[in-house]
Amino acid sequence: MKKMLSSMLALIFFSGCAAGSSGPQVQNGEVRFILHAPSVASVAVTGSFNQWDGRGHALSGPDRSGVWSVTLPLSPGRYEYAFIIDGSVWQADPGAPFVDDGFGGKNSVVEVR
């Protein structure tokens, strides 16, 4: 039931990423995390880069297009992450590669070179 609810919420929240802004953008040791979610109250990102802090890093938004974003400096490496929607729903980035999280869900992956 929880998995089905999570999938239904994902369909409601993520009506598709804004054109040209799908997935994380990596440049000069910084990662810009982007999520198109116009109908939510808050978005944060958490992952292996912050020891999966349940509060995460808050994204700013939404902008006029419904896009939330935050830019974080990250050292070179491979990171798994997820978005936290409205403080409680954890969701993989629909615009990024993903891996099994070991608990029946998915984590997104970003590599910083």
Q: Which of 109, 90, 84 is nearest to 98 (CA)?
A: 109
Helix runs in the chain, H state only: 2-13
Other CB atoms within a 10 A radius of the CB of residue 80 amount to: 18
Residue position matching structure tokens 């939404």: 62
Q: State the residue range of the domain holding 84.
A: 2-112
CATH number at 103 reads: 2.60.40.10
pLDDT tens, N- to C-terminus, the chain (113 residues): 444 344 334 433 444 443 335 799 999 999 999 999 999 999 999 999 999 999 999 999 999 999 999 999 999 999 999 999 999 999 999 999 999 999 999 999 999 99
Look at the chain and report how many structural domains it folds into. 1
Q: Report the SS3 class of residue 8.
A: helix
| Predicted TM-score of the model (pTM) | 0.82
**What are the Cα distances from residue 35, in Å, to 32, 76, 101, 102?**
10, 22, 20, 24
Q: Is the backbone of residue 66 left (phi > 0), alpha (psi -120 to 50) or beta?
A: left
Look at residue 71 in the predicted model and tell me its pLDDT. 98
